Amino acid sequence: MKKALKLVGYVIATVVALVALALVSVYLLSNQKLNKSYQVSVQPVVIPTGSEALGRGQHIAATRGCADCHGADLAGATIIDNPAMGRLSGPNLTRGRGGLPASFTDLDLVRSIRHGVAPDGRGLFLMPSSDFSEFTDQDMGDLIAYINALAPVDRASVPLTIGPVARGLLVAGKIKLSAELIDHAGVRPATVQPGVTVAYGHYLAAGCTGCHGPNLSGGKIDIGPPDWPPAQNLTPAGDLAKWSEADFIMSLRKRTRPDGSPLNEVMPAAFGLMNDTELKAIWAYLRTLPPAPTGKR
Ligand code: HEC
Ligand code: HEC
């Protein structure tokens, strides 16, 4: 009897030790990823002045969902706050107290938005720079002009606390840092010609690939937490084959499909703020995609 109890004790102690070891390994391995330094050569972009540039920059910020994570005033917001994933907040991007420090230069903004890398070289967590890294120099310049002109708001940015599940997903490669995915040496075009063209649609649809996949075939979203629903197939192999251009525009603006079913809130509302030219261009581009089986990225 005593012997059996002793055995059970050993088994429990071993299990506890293994769990502790696993947790410590996940913690150390995730720290290795989070603290990895990315040395990128950041090319400066021209930051324009004038109300037209600011208007264009505001439109880019509004239609790419910066407010979803950085708050309506871009002065910071909490995105996720639970013990499993951690407390994840988009920092204050204004120059108020608690916002971007005075030492944060335009080049640092390019490094964050285009490369997903903080001034100290670490890869930004959750910031979807891989969706923004192909912005032309002009779009990047307009966006930065707009950020620099934001009304200063005093609000302390909440430091990220990355929870055990988020760390596990990071170690397993289920969550990736944008900095791991971006072609840092790639050359971005200076400008792109807006218009209802496949080329312009292709350019804009880069912002859909983070969730719908590089070939837009949908499936499990790599960058999101496990409770996010899969993204739909946007190639002609999906439901969109049966949609019209008007159906597509309505689905993004009104957030309902042609059959009346609502879109899940993970599908960002911001894209519905794109103008007709932008949405028609994306539609024109989606029509040219080769059909791909759902989730076959
Ligand atoms: C899915 C949420 C999300 C979206 C969308 C998003 N961000 Fe972020 N962003 C973050 C998080 C989280 C951080 C902090 C990451 C870290 O510190 O590791 C961040 C960091 C930044 C930083 C660096 C700030 C600093 O203090 O170091 C800048 C600049 C930035 N984001 C700009 C933007 C812009 C501009 C857009 C829209 C084009 C945008 N973000 C969209 C989540 C997001
Ligand atoms: C943050 C992740 C995310 C991004 C970025 C994103 N989507 Fe989605 N999208 C989703 C999810 C998740 C769904 C599934 C929603 C549902 O099941 O209700 C979806 C569904 C859709 C649908 C409905 C398709 C159908 O067959 O019902 C369309 C259309 C769509 N997205 C277009 C786009 C376009 C165009 C872009 C880029 C401009 C984009 N999405 C960017 C996550 C995203």
What does the pLDDT average to over 132-157?
97
Q: How far apart are the first and last CA of the chain?
A: 57
pLDDT digits (tens, 9 = 90+) for 1-27: 688 888 888 989 998 898 888 888 888
Q: Which ligand is nearest to the CA of 117?
A: 1
Place of tokens 């309506």: 72
Question: Does the CB atom of residue 235 touch ligand 1 within 6 A?
Answer: no
Q: What's the pLDDT at 144?
A: 98
Q: How far is the CA of 210 from the centre of ligand 2 (A)?
A: 10
pLDDT computed for residue 226 by the predictor: 76
**Nearest CA to 211 among 202, 200, 220, 203?**
220
* Long-range contacts, 187-195 (Cβ 8 Å, 24+): 188/114, 188/133, 188/134, 188/135, 188/136, 188/137, 188/140, 189/136, 189/137, 190/136, 190/137, 190/138, 191/136, 191/137, 191/138, 192/136, 192/138, 192/139, 194/277, 194/278, 194/281, 195/277, 195/281
Instruction: Please calculate the CA angle 25-176-134 and round it to the nearest 5 degrees.
Output: 155
Q: What is the pLDDT of residue 5?
A: 84
Q: What is the pLDDT of residues 196-205, one digit of tens each?
A: 999 999 999 9
- Kindly identify the ligand whose nearest atom is closest to the C-alpha of 35: 1
- CA dist 46 and 49 (Å) reads 10
Quote the ligand 2 centre to 295 CA distance (angstroms): 13
**Residue 224 pLDDT > 80, yes or no?**
no
Segment 31-53 mean pLDDT: 96
Which range is least confidently modeled, 8-12, 214-218, 252-256, 265-269?
8-12
pLDDT of 91 higher than 80: yes
Confidence of residue 122 (pLDDT cuts 50, 70, 90): very high
What's residue 1's pLDDT? Answer: 64
Residue nearest to atom 6 of ligand 1 (CA): 66
- Percent of the chain clearing pLDDT 70 (strictly above): 100
Instruction: Retrieve residue 239's tokens.
Output: 């439901």
Q: What six digits make up the tokens of 178?
A: 């944008």
Is residue 227 pLDDT above 90, yes or no? Answer: no
How many angstroms is it from 141 CA to the middle of ligand 1? 17
**Distance of CA 255 from the midpoint of ligand 2 (Å):** 10
Q: What is the reported pLDDT for 156?
A: 95
Cβ distance 182 to 208 under 8 Å?
A: no
Cα–Cα distance measured from residue 289 to residue 139, given in angstroms and rounded to the nearest whole number: 25
Look at residues 294, 235, 234 and name the one whose alpha carbon lies nearest to residue 263. Answer: 234
Average pLDDT, the chain: 94
Is residue 216 within 6 Å of ligand 1 at its C-beta? no
- Residues 194/280, Cβ–Cβ less than 8 Å: no
* Ligand 1 pocket test target in 69, 125, 265 with most atoms within 8 Å of CB: 69
Place of tokens 């603006």: 253
Average pLDDT over residues 113-122: 97
Q: Ligand 2 centre and the CA of 232: distance in Å? A: 6
- Whose alpha carbon is nearest atom 36 of ligand 2? 208
* pLDDT tens-digit readout, 238-248: 999 999 999 99
Report the nearest atom of ligand 1 relative to the CA of 147.
Answer: 35
110 within ligand 1 shell (Cβ under 6 A)? no
Distance of CA 117 from the midpoint of ligand 2 (Å):
26
